[in-house]
Structure 1
Amino acid sequence: MADAMVSGLLDQLASIIREKVEEKMRLVMGVETEVENLQNNLQAIRDVLVDAEKRQLKEENVKRWLDDLKGVTYNIDDVLDEWSILILQPNINEKDENGVQTVVVTKKKECLSFLFPCFPSKQVNQTGLRLEIATKIKDLNGKLDNIATTRDRYKFDIMRATDEPSRPITTAMINLFEVTGRNEDKENLINKLLYESSRERRDHLIVSIVGMGGIGKTTLAQLAFNEIKSKFDNGIWVCVSDPFDETKIAKAIIEQLMGEETRLVELEALMQKLLESIKGKKFLLVLDDVWTYDHRKWEPLKATLRHGAFGSRILVTTQKKDVALRIGEGAHMIQLKRLTEEDCWRLFNRVAFLGKEKTDEENFKEIGRKIAAKCDGLPLAAKTLGSHMYFKTTKKEWEDVLESELWDLEDTNMKLFSPLLLSYYDLPSVVKRCFSYCAVFPKDALIDRDDLIQQWMSQGYFNSKKNMEKEAAGLGCFNSLVMRSFFQDFEEDMERNILQCKMHDVVHNFAQFLTKNEYYSIREMENVNQIHGGDIRHLTMATSSTTSAEVPISILKERSLHTLVVSGIDAIGHDQFLHMKYLRTLNLTGCNTELPEIIGELVHLRYLNLSNNRRLKELPTSVGKLWNLQTLRLVHCLNIEKLPGTVGQLINLRHLYASYSYNLMQWPKEIGRLSCLQTLNGFQCFGDDDAKNDHETNLGALRNLNNLHQLYIRGLGDAANHADEAKQAQLHSKKGLLHLALYFSNRTSTMEIHEKVLQELNPHPNIQNLTIKQYEGLVFPSWMISLNNLRRLSLAFCSCEVLPPLGKLPCLESLKMIDMSNVVKVGPEFLGIEAVDHDNYLESSNVVSFPNLKELEFHFFDEWKEWVGTNPERWKFQNPTVIIMPRLQILNISYCDNLETLPNFLARVPLQNLSVRICPKLKMRRRKEWAKVCHIPNIAVDDLRIVVDRIREGSTS
């Protein structure tokens, strides 16, 4: 990772020097020479870092040399960032004619200091500043000189790190079926979970899967869980990790059973709620990745779980046999063995040659088998190596991997990392650094892709991307790591874009190994004293949910932290913030704490996450000083009521999230000054009943936000003037807007106001995702069927009586409709096919309705009685000139109490999955209805899977 850090510094230096030349800035005498020497030293050191990083695995002296280098580079980064802040420091000017403060970025004509003091503010004369500059730069350069001199004694080979991937990145293999050689284990596991008697014991049968890291325990558990969970009332999956936290486990079980978050934090209350939630239910509970056993914590949980129905099962995965024996019984334990060499080869081969020509497989088969044999029977190693070899195109490259000295590492843990090291060293420099940053996440954490990319951005990883947005550069890095199998367990959208993912435990351990002295994680506050040394730059702190603690000042002193992630800690005050001045990333998710005014002094901060904070009511006005801030997350802050007008000074803000913060009603009109904003999620319109004050904003404030990609608006139609305001928002001019959600209010609104507002909120045709909720108009606006790029549409809680002609949308892939209680009939108008004269119809050109629709859902249509796609008197749909839903794969219908029939055209639709739930009048076994759907391979009715052949044989009129 050192090469990525040094490369980033050189890019930063080049950028600052370019600004100096362009603006004719004058440096302090003697400092310019020091800066030039700094640049030369960094360039010379960068040339040997590829060799140095490989040699550190076996040579302790080299490792110490790299650690020293990283420490100096972090210090240089802090200095350069302050220089940049001074050069591009904004001026907050007077209010304009509309009463809104203007923010202008001005470049300093003369740079007097690298290190402008943030804590505390004070007056320093120019002479002092000039001496400080000279001393600081000279000191940093002296340290770098020593490192450069020491470099020569190691006789490093000169080689440059990869800057770009050798082949184009795709995501074709991200959902590759991973289970190979486990059929017997899977059948054995399913038999234990379904068929083995619990011998009338009060305890539920506990089954354990035991095996070393990377052997496939979780994959096997997932395979069985997904196959048999429908046999239970509830399927529950909990990632346990270390330590065994019964409070966290109980809370996770309750939330999965209830389908919503619980505010309970006390163990006794949680156990009582768990008992109520699980009593009498037959459940399948997976406790994944259990490391420790403490009978004081396990027995109360186990006793509560006994109240589930007979036949409930608990499945435990663990690396430790003694843990499995203490929790369960040896008779119900499955010890996973390593894959055979042949199974390893099959898995390796499937990944390495995905989408390639058969001749490629034949040419590399002999070498490939030898490489696969080095996987030592571990599926993770086979998949990782296969991903690595996917990018190798010559015999020489394959031979280099086979003969790599990384296979000769003696340490047992290091041997497990060998496949990962091979793939890691092959990554471009910036991707290496992105992967290493993932060490900040707790084990088993669910990682949001966009959130991860925004944290990478906050660390300055993408400064060198001249012609690419930082978000696009981050997405490229993310996809590179996906293709190299560093991420897994993907959650995707309809377009197969990854939304969330996880890291395998072994991969997470590998990331922590790479960043041993830079990243540190504290799981319980009693472990604080274990932290030694001042080299830590990224710190994660967490406590159990029942603990009320504060961040100790002792671990913040004398450390220039760049990242601080805190959870379960309520007390973070003025004194703590005094020691956070170089932070780039501050994540306080789940911390119920107010922010002190001193937060405004964290001028280096790029990312601030305050989500899930139940105490936060408002942000301090000093947040306006965080003008470097790029991401602000206020998701699920239930008590926050307003944003200060100073947020309009956050001129670099790109992403603002405030979804599920329903009390955040007062948004300042200064929000319209954030011209860099790409994401505005949870924006609230004021209503007629809201008190008018300076904090309120309206839709007109969106007028100049022309870089928006994602916009979610709440409270629409709750004021008579919203139609005029909607027109002023000028959504039709925002070409980059791809995701739009419009949530209407029914507090004081009328049907006419809703219709006028929605008509004026006419987005640009580039829109790809549209959600409309609580719309009370009877008709939808005409612009809906002109959205030629729309791919996903969701309509919920709308009052319309007739569905719009959505079949005309050429790119629509997903259509979901929920609670459209006034719809009685869905007819040909929904398909978007114009009515024509019967005699002349066949002379018209081919017509395709819903040409790209893949997924269609109807839920809670209370009055819906009839779904017809044809009018036999006037239409000849059986004629091939009319094609309906030619690509539909999934149809889900639920809670439609009065629906009696399905349309005839379904018989000619290539459906793969049909789900019908709680539709009592829709008799699927009737011959007439069955004829429409009998070709569908996967049919589920009221959660009971139907065997198609059996219905075909038994169906009657």
Structure 2
Amino acid sequence: MAGALLSAIVERLGSLISSEFKLTVTVKEEVQKLETKFRTIQAVLNDAEKRQLKEEAVKLWLDKLKGVSYEIDDVLDEWNTVMIKAEIEKQQKEFEEEEKAETSTAKKRKVWTITPNFNFSVPNLLQHLDIAHKIKELTEKLDEIYKERETYGFELSRPIEEVVERPKTTSYVDVSDILGRDKVKDDLVSILLGKGTEKEKCPHVISLVGTGGIGKTTLAQLAFNHHEVKDQFEKRIWVCVSEPFDQCKVAKAIIEALAGGDPKITELHSLLEKICELIGRKKFFLVFDDVWTEDYAMWKPFRDALKNCGSQGSKILVTTRKDKVAKMMESANTIKLEELSEEDCWLVFSKIAFFDKDPQQCEQLEDFGRQISKKCKGLPLAAKTLGSLLHFKKSREEWRNVLNNNLWELEDVERGLFAPLLLSYYDLSSPLKRCFSYCAIFPKDHVFYVDELVYMWTAHGFVESKGNVEVEIMAQEYFENLVIRSLFQECREYIQFGTRYKMHDIVHDFAQSITEAQHLGYTIGSQFPPSTDRSKNLRTVIFFNHGDYNMSNLVQNFSRLRVLTLQFGMELPDTIGNLIHLRYLDLYWCEERFSCGKWVLPETICNLCNLQFLRLRHVPISQPRILPQGIGKLINLRLLIGYNLVIPRGIGRLTSLRTLNGVLISDEDSKGCKLEELKILHHLRDLSLYFNKGDSPIALAPNDRRIQSNVLMLNALEPPQGLEKLRISKYVGTTMSPIWLASLTNLKELYLGHTIELMSLPPLGMNPCLESLTIVFAHRLKKVGVEFLGIESKNKKEDMKIFPNLKYLTFYGLFEWEEWIGGTRGGKEDKDCITIMPCLQKLKIHKCGKLKSLPDFLRTTPLKELEIGDCQIIKKRCRRETGEDWHNISHIPIIKLADDPEVMTWDSNYALL
């Protein structure tokens, strides 16, 4: 961890020395001294971090080094903030002068540019002297640490360069799911499918018992998703319990699994009544994963409620490490999960470690591999972790080093699991180590969204820049690397909502054992605020659920925060603007000031000149959200997302923006941003727009004036040409063919939602990069014809490809749609060779009940999956061999025909919030 921290600081020091900041000679010399000492200390950190596990003196030395490193990071940040604020003041004066000029003339707006090196004089001598003094003091502290390092005789080591091999497929990560578990899986499924008797307790409780990392959750998942189990139960519910056992939290999780959404009920009795109402005397299968509590009083209310809810044959499956838990929950069947046999453990390990390796190479490494797999002691998690580690190592020397590593000598609570995890951890680069250990701040069983971690890692500076690659893309690669190494696993119980991830509870325990004290997550029952000594050094504070916390002393308690997430009713204080180090601010269902029918943010938020990520999620969607007039001061902002955001003028100054989601487009607010400002946001890659003011029936009702206004505003939009994702919602124009659409040649994803008056689709077929297209709730659309392909007779040419890169196409809620004309049989039209959608992989059509047939060109596409739901005419025409459209789809490997498919029906913009 110290290595990762020092790497980041050395990079900042080097940048500071080489920048055009007009530092005095004294300050520049002190900064250079710091950099030299840091680079020397870095060379011994790998050895020091390993030795701290057994040598307390080394651990104390590292702790002292970390403390000084954080202080230095803060001082450098203070200096950088002084420079940024001076530049903002300069720009603000120019902006105000331009605004004045614009009121009297039609002066063209200039393009705002922010360069990384500010070329101006030091703004304040006193601030300069204060920072110089702090740097000198910290240099003296580091001198002492620098000298102490010589007494430990550390070995020099080179920093690990992260080189990630991308496997041809990620299936190797999951091949171990059933190895060695076939019989126990079949036994469990058999019990679940048993009809039971009238005398049998309802619900019937089965417990899976075994040590951590033995594979209990994996086995439960296999049973939960078994096709026969799915058919047997009308209601299936998966709940992660963990420790501590919070009755209301567990009850809410059951309701969310049954109905979706977070219930606003707070009393346990009412929550249990709601559960019974949702189950409704139907046969259910409920999984309680990772139960720890042995307190019968905690379980009894659930037992009493559930026994009266479902029909005969309902089942509850419990996974636990404790036999006492199985007895406490009155299990009718208890399955003890034993360690894998030596051979099965070897199969798990070798399937991953040797994946995609040359057979001769596998043979040369097998002797070491078998010895390493024995050290896994039959634990699938250990075998997966070590297999993932060795997958990237090719030589016998590298495998020998893992086998003979002294980390195997450590005694661990979980029977040797920490040793494999330590080996994998120390094989990571410094930035990856830091990213991984940071995840310990989240509670056990937390469902991770990749974007959430990407933004936080970036905000803390954990991610090293690499050439012209965007830092967010680098962070995503970091996460993929951790997944490949089995440190994260896909969360299958949430698969219908897209890919989510979890961290195994043993991996989470390990991450907590190596994490730093500078990050804190609050759950129900946590002490707030923590001790003064800890508060002043915190870099992260995340509230994971509602709590009666007083935010008035937020800044006083947490002055060095980089990441802050507030939730459920917490009010953002005006003093928020004093958190000068803040990079990431997430306001989830937070209370804001309600004024004149609008939700407003405090103007002081515009003082956060280092802010990079601002997330404004889940406010009452019927109300517009007013952003502060000074939003243009946030010149480092990379992401701004919310819903119904009313953005004032000055948005064009935010030239660092990559993502801008939830912007309300309206002609009613004269103070709103000018649409032409968007086109100068040259780094913008993701944009979502809303064309209505609120969701009330009156606001949604179209009229001639509103339709004409929507068309004019859409045509005036002109987003930047580098845009890759565009989402347009609530547009009420009858046509959608803005001139600028053809210029978006980098566009990869397009979402058109709730375009209720749209009578024809825009011409999109000639877009060269479009990969995903979603059309949702176009109520009046009756025909999808050749205009959708984007070609005209005069433009036709031989070997023309239409939608050349489209992979995913979705139509949902086109209630009046009758015809889809897309080409003639064989994909040829007018004797010219025209290929339509040559890369199409997945087609989804739902709630399009009047659609009469599918187009012929589908025969020539490489479709892998077709999903049709609530489309009765098409379903009949797609019946195997007898349907009229069967000849167009018979080549597709996966065809799903369902009346009530598990698909997302809400606006996809929510997924980004």
Distance 1:828 1:361 in 2: 55
Superposed displacement of residue 789, structure 1: 4.6
From 551, 576, 579, the equivalent of 1:599 is: 576
Q: How do 1:216-615 and structure 2 match up within 5 A? A: 216-227=215-226, 228-306=229-307, 307-329=309-331, 331-413=332-414, 415-462=416-463, 468-489=469-490, 500-515=500-515, 518-519=516-517, 537-543=518-524, 551-552=528-529, 554-555=531-532, 559-567=536-544, 568-588=546-566, 590-614=567-591
Cα pair 1:678 1:710 within 8 Å, conserved = yes
In structure 2, relative to structure 1, the CA distance for the partners of 1:788 and 1:618 (3 Å cut) is closer
Residue 872 of structure 2 corresponds to residue 928 of structure 1: no
Q: Residues 809 and 110 from structure 1, CA distance in 2 versus in 1: closer, same or farther, beyond 3 angstroms?
A: closer
Q: Is the 8 A contact 2:827 2:835 kept in 1?
A: no
Q: 1:513 Cα deviation (Å)?
A: 0.7
2:910 corresponding residue in structure 1: none
Quote the residue 1:625 is aligned against.
607
Relative to 1, partners in 2 of residues 1:33 and 1:920: Cα closer, same or farther, differing over 3 Å? closer
TM-superposed deviation, 1:809: 4.6
Aligned match of 2:159: 161
Deviations, residues 395-429 of structure 1 (Å, cap 9, x unaligned): 21121112211222233447211112112111111
Give the superposition deviation at 1:880. Answer: 12
Q: 1:911 to 1:192 in 2, by over 3 A?
A: farther
Partner AA of 1:625 in structure 2: N
1:443, distance to aligned residue in structure 2 (A): 1.2
Whether the aligned pair in 2 keeps the contact of 1:481 and 1:487 (CA below 8 Å) is yes
1-structure distance, mates of 2:371, 2:684? 51
Task: Write the distance in 2 (CA, Å) between the matches of 1:852 and 1:801.
Answer: 25
Aligned to 1:725: none
User: How much has 1:654 moved relative to structure 2?
Assistant: 1.3
Residues matched between the structures, number: 861
Alpha-carbon distance change, 96 to 355 in structure 1, aligned in 2, over 3 angstroms = farther
C-alpha RMSD of the superposition: 3.8
Give the structure 2 partner of residue 940 of structure 1.
896
> 2:911 aligns to what?
none
Counterpart in 2 of 1:893?
A: 845
Cα drift, residue 301 of structure 1: 2.3
Specify whether residues 745 and 477 from structure 1 end up closer, same or farther in structure 2 by C-alpha distance, changes over 3 A only. Answer: farther
Write the distance in 1 (CA, Å) between the matches of 2:45 and 2:188.
Answer: 48
Q: Which residue pairs with 2:174 in the alignment?
A: 177
Q: Which residue of 1 aligns with 2:616?
A: 634
Scaled by the length of structure 1, what TM-score is found? 0.81
- Structure 1: distance between partners of 2:465 and 2:895: 52
Counterpart in 2 of 1:8? Answer: 8
Task: Quote the offset at 1:358 in angstroms.
Answer: 3.0
Indicate conservation of the 8 Å contact 1:89/1:107, yes or no.
no
- The corresponding residue for 2:105 is none
- Structure 2 distance, partners of 1:61, 1:866, is 77
State the Cα distance separating 1:231 from its structure 2 match.
3.7
1:649 and 1:673 in contact (8 A); partners too:
yes
Change in CA separation of 1:646 and 1:908 when aligned onto 2, cut-off 3 Å:
closer
Residues 557, 579 of structure 1: 8 Å contact kept: no
Contact residue 290 and residue 317 of structure 1 kept, 8 A: yes
CA distance in 1, matches of 2:154, 2:415: 22
Q: Which range is displaced more, 392-401 or 747-756?
A: 747-756
Confirm or deny that 1:823 pairs with 2:781: yes
Q: How does 1:594-743 map to 2 (within 5 A)?
A: 594-614=571-591, 617-638=599-620, 641-659=625-643, 662=644, 664=645, 666-688=646-668, 692=670, 694=671, 696-715=672-691
Q: How far did residue 50 of structure 1 move?
A: 0.9
Deviations 1:718-741 (A, max 9, x none): 9xxxxxxxxxxxxxxxxxxxxxxx
Question: Does the CA contact (< 8 Å) of 1:287 and 1:314 recur in 2?
Answer: yes
CA contact (8 A) 1:490 1:501 kept: yes
Q: Which moved more, 1:303-312 or 1:315-324?
A: 303-312
Q: Label 1:801 to 1:198 Cα distance change in 2 as closer, same or farther (>3 A).
A: farther
Quote how far apart the aligned CAs of 1:627 are.
0.7
Q: CA deviation at 1:107?
A: 4.9
What SS does the aligned partner of 1:333 have? strand
Point out the more displaced range, 381-390 or 167-176: 167-176
**8 Å contact from structure 1 (residues 56, 62) kept in 2:** yes
Distance, in Å, in 2 between the alignment partners of 1:716 and 1:574 is 35
- CA gap of 1:748–1:672, structure 2 versus 1, over 3 A, is farther
Please identify, of 72-81 and 35-44, the stretch whose mean Cα deviation from structure 2 is larger. 35-44
Give the secondary-structure state (helix, strand or coil) at the position aligned to 1:241: coil
Q: Could you say which residue in structure 1 is the equivalent of 2:731?
A: 775
User: How much does 1:259 deviate?
Assistant: 2.8
Is it true that 1:55 corresponds to 2:51 in the alignment?
yes
Change (3 A) 1:857 1:282: farther
Aligned to 2:202: 203
Taking the aligned partners of 2:223 and 2:673, their CA distance within structure 1 comes to: 52
Residues of 2 paired with 1:351 and 1:631: CA distance?
37
Question: Given residue 165 of structure 1, which amino acid in structure 2 is its aligned partner?
Answer: E
Check 1:387–1:560 CA distance in 2 against 1; reply closer, same or farther (3 A cut).
Answer: same
TM-score (norm 2): 0.85
**Partner amino acid, structure 1, of 2:658:** Q
**Alpha-carbon distance change, 859 to 6 in structure 1, aligned in 2, over 3 angstroms:** closer
Quickly say closer, same or farther: Cα 1:611–1:406, change in 2 above 3 A.
Answer: same
The C-alpha deviation readout for 1:311-341, integer Å capped at 9, x for no partner, is 3322222222221221241x42222222222
- State the alpha-carbon separation in 2 of the partners of residues 492 and 245 from structure 1: 21
Q: Is the aligned partner of 1:797 residue 2:754?
A: yes
Partner of 1:522: none
User: Do the aligned partners of 1:679 and 1:711 also contact (CA within 8 Å) in 2?
Assistant: yes
1:829–1:188 CA distance, 2 compared to 1 (3 A): farther
Give the one of 135, 147, 150 matched to 1:149.
Answer: 147
- Where do residues 97-116 of structure 1 align in structure 2 (5 Å cutoff)? 97-99=98-100, 107-109=120-122
CA contact (8 A) 1:244 1:294 kept: no
- Measure how far apart 1:221 and its partner are: 1.7
Where in structure 1 are there 5+ consecutive unaligned residues? 117-125, 520-536, 719-742, 946-957
What is the Cα deviation at residue 782 of structure 1?
A: 6.6
2:188 match: 189
The residue matched to 1:447 in structure 2 has which SS?
coil
> For residues 272 and 698 of structure 1, do their structure 2 counterparts lie closer, same or farther at Cα, with a shift above 3 Å needed?
farther
Q: 1:192 to 1:595 in 2, by over 3 A?
A: same
Alpha-carbon separation, structure 2, partners of 1:99 and 1:206: 73
Contact 1:778 1:800 in 2 (8 A): yes
Q: 1:575 to 1:764 in 2, by over 3 A?
A: closer
Structure 1 residues 575 and 860 mapped into 2: Cα distance closer, same or farther (>3 Å)? closer
Which letter does structure 1 place at the counterpart of 2:523? Answer: A
Shift in CA distance, 491/781, structure 1 to aligned 2, threshold 3 Å: farther
Distance change >3 Å, CA 867–CA 87, structure 1 → 2: closer
Identical amino acids, percent of aligned pairs? 42
Q: Deviations over 1:562-593 (max 9, x none)?
A: 111223223333334212111111121x2412
The 3-state SS of whatever aligns with 1:297 is: helix
**Take 1:859 and 1:290, find their aligned partners in 2: how far apart are those partners?**
40
Q: Distance in 2 between matches of 1:13 and 1:560?
A: 21
Instruction: Output one character per residue of 1:682-730: Cα deviation in whole Å (capped at 9) or x when no partner.
Output: 1222343x5x4x5x33423424322212111222699xxxxxxxxxxxx
Residues 476 and 901 (structure 1 numbering): CA distance in 2 closer, same or farther, change over 3 Å? Answer: closer
Please list every run of 5 or more consecutive structure 2 residues that lacks an aligned counterpart in the other structure. 103-111, 594-598, 902-913
Higher relative contact order (CA 8 A, sep 6+): 2
